[in-house]
């Protein structure tokens, strides 16, 4: 267990209680209720049908694939799939909502309670409850900065399917909230129901924040809307928790309200005045009959799901002997896990994991590249691991070879050959070097034999240096012992 997250106030320690609502854009060709395209970045209003523009007389017809994507997601979250769900109208006015209501699901969502496992930095896991998942329409996009007095509206996004995934208030630190988003993103990407691209807005999170003294009942919460990065989620929660603590310690009370995170100033501010309280007047959409699913179809979708991150992680731990922490890193992206499996096949899996995580990831990070752009392929890195494994090169030389591989894309074997980096494992050759070292340092040999044990490290260092790092370190140790102690 890691230390619980606490904030020190003037009256003592406070804890935060967090719940997240994540809006995830469904991967589909066409929109939830119309046949227009969902592609990002097209010219304004070119991907809009008369249904999306809410022209009179248009009727919504649901896209089967969007429904199945929601079911897949529910199954991946080990959630209850509701075979009967209902679409409701959520009524509000905004310039980018042409219908004057959003088609959503209220009382009867398609997916009920489920669970998501957080992979904590200490290698343990924490279970977070999923309250529900429902399908709804995305709104259009308003551009406020194109004209001093006007707002420009683009409806290309209007009607694209969203999954709103609501967690239980089980999260208790900014880090956990961030890990929750990362894990959810990982699962959605594994099963291909959302691309998880937060910058393009395919995944946005609202965070419910409240504070309390440990052991007290839940406090009043505020909802911070529409954040599109883990970093902003961290900052917003930290700011908002402190704001609430200051109010409570000053004798005030928290108003339940919706707030915005101002990324420039790093603070949250109220979005709506109180007299304008939300009242969405939900009612079942008379244009849409209840959505009824067939259990056999749900089972079939479940059977088609790929191996999920938690299962893969457990397998990596069991089959490859990896630590939970390393396994969690390797399974986060399916492509990384596949890459690793290719690398580890027929090799020492732990050494392979170390080279991938500490060396290749480090080098990629520095170069600003991701694994798909790596100049070193899995096969190529495997070649290097093999050379370490069979004693051709030492671990230290391997780092040098790796740097060259990353630079030039050459094979490890070729570099070792060209530069003459082969580890010297020939007893005679190493003995020759050791003899020279001992001869040059006769005084120290004397001191060592006189009881100054610590000098042993010095002789190892000198021998390695003289061999230009190529001597087999294990053999150097053994032979030195024989010569000095024998």
Partner 1 sequence: MSLDKATVASIANLARIKVPDDRLEAMVGDLNAILGFVEQLDAVDTAGVEPLASVTGHTLPQREDAITDGGYQARVTANAPESTHGFYVVPKVVE
Contacts of 222 (CB under 8 A, 6+ apart): 208, 209, 210, 240, 244, 254, 255, 256, 257, 258, 259, 268
Binding-site string for partner 1 from residue 241 to residue 270, where x marks contact by CB under 8 A and - marks none: -------------------x----------
What is the smallest separation between the CB atom of 136 and partner 1, expressed in angstroms? 16
Cβ distance to partner 1 smaller for residue 238 or 257: 257
Residue 283 has, within 13 A of its CA and on its CB side, a CA count of 4
Cβ distance to partner 1 smaller for residue 131 or 240: 240
What is the smallest separation between the CB atom of 300 and partner 1, expressed in angstroms? 16
Sole binder of partner 1 in the list 279, 390, 443, 453 (CB under 8 A): 279
Sole binder of partner 1 in the list 30, 118, 171, 363 (CB under 8 A): 30
Question: Which of 311, 254, 308 lies closest to 16, judged by CA?
Answer: 254
CA distance 331 to 311: 9
**φ and ψ of 4, to 5 deg:** -65, 150
Signed CA dihedral, 326, 20, 208, 143: sign only? positive
The β-bridge partners of 21 are 166, 206
DSSP string computed for 162-204: EEEEEE-S-B-SHHHHHHHHHHHHHHHHHHTS----TTTTSEE
314 is a site residue for partner 1 (CB under 8 A): no
Q: Where are the alpha helices (DSSP H) in 390-426?
A: 395-408, 412-419
Sole binder of partner 1 in the list 153, 207, 211, 434 (CB under 8 A): 153
What is the smallest separation between the CB atom of 49 and partner 1, expressed in angstroms? 4
Sole binder of partner 1 in the list 144, 274, 366, 454 (CB under 8 A): 144
Sole binder of partner 1 in the list 18, 24, 66, 128 (CB under 8 A): 66
What is the smallest separation between the CB atom of 258 and partner 1, expressed in angstroms? 10
Binding-site string for partner 1 from residue 39 to residue 58, where x marks contact by CB under 8 A and - marks none: ----xxxxxxxxxxx-----
Cα-based distances in Å from 113 to 64, 179, 295: 22, 20, 17
CA distance 88 to 29: 24
155 is a site residue for partner 1 (CB under 8 A): yes
CA distance 207 to 234: 10
290 is a site residue for partner 1 (CB under 8 A): yes
Binding-site string for partner 1 from residue 102 to residue 141, where x marks contact by CB under 8 A and - marks none: ----------------------------------------
Binding site for partner 1 (CB under 8 A): 28-30, 34-37, 43-53, 61-67, 86, 91, 93-95, 142-144, 146-155, 260, 271-272, 279, 281, 284, 288-292
């Amino acid at each position: 267990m890691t230390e619980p997250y606490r904030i020190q106030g003037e009256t003592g320690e406070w804890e935060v209680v967090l719940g997240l609502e994540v809006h995830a854009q469904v991967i589909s060709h066409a929109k939830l209720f119309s046949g227009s395209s969902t592609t990002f970045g097209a010219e304004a209003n070119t991907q809009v049908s008369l249904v999306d523009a809410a022209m009179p007389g248009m009727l919504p017809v649901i896209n089967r694939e969007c429904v199945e994507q929601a079911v897949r997601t529910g199954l991946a979250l080990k959630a209850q799939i509701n075979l009967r769900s209902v679409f409701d109208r959520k009524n509000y006015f905004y310039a980018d909502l042409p219908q004057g209501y959003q088609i959503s699901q209220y009382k009867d969502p398609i997916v009920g309670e489920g669970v998501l496992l957080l992979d904590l930095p200490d290698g343990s896991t924490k279970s977070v409850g999923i309250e529900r998942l429902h399908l709804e329409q995305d709104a259009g996009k308003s551009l406020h900065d194109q004209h001093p007095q006007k707002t420009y509206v683009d409806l290309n996004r209007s009607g694209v399917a969203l999954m709103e995934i609501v967690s239980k208030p089980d999260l208790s630190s900014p880090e956990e909230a961030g890990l929750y988003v990362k894990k959810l993103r990982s699962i959605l990407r594994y099963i291909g129901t959302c691309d998880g691209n937060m910058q393009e807005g395919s995944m946005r999170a609202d965070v419910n924040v409240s504070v309390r003294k440990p052991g007290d009942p839940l406090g009043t919460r505020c909802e911070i809307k529409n954040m599109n990065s883990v970093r902003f989620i961290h900052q917003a929660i930290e700011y908002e928790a402190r704001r609430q603590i200051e109010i409570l310690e000053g004798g005030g009370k928290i108003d339940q309200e919706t707030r915005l995170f101002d990324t420039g100033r790093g603070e949250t501010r109220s979005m709506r005045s109180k007299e304008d309280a939300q009242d969405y007047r939900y009612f079942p959409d008379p244009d849409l009959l209840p959505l009824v699913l067939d259990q056999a179809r749900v089972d079939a979708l479940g059977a088609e799901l790929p191996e999920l991150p938690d299962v893969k992680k457990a397998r990596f731990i069991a089959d490859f002997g990896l630590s939970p922490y390393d396994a969690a890193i390797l399974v986060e992206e399916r492509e990384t896990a596949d890459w690793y499996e290719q690398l580890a096949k027929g090799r020492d899996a732990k050494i392979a994991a170390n080279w991938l995580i500490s060396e290749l990831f480090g080098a990629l990070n520095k170069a600003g590249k991701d694994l798909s752009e790596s100049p070193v392929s899995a096969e190529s890195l495997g070649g290097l691991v093999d050379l370490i494994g069979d004693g051709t090169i030492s671990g230290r030389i391997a780092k040098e070879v790796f740097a060259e591989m990353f630079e030039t894309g050459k094979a490890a074997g070729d570099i070792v050959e060209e530069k003459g980096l082969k580890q010297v494992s020939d007893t005679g050759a190493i003995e020759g070097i050791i003899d020279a070292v001992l001869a040059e340092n006769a005084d120290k040999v004397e001191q060592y034999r006189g009881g100054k044990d610590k000098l042993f490290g010095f002789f190892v260092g000198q021998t390695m240096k003289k061999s230009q790092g190529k001597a087999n370190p294990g053999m150097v140790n053994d032979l030195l012992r024989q010569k000095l102690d024998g």
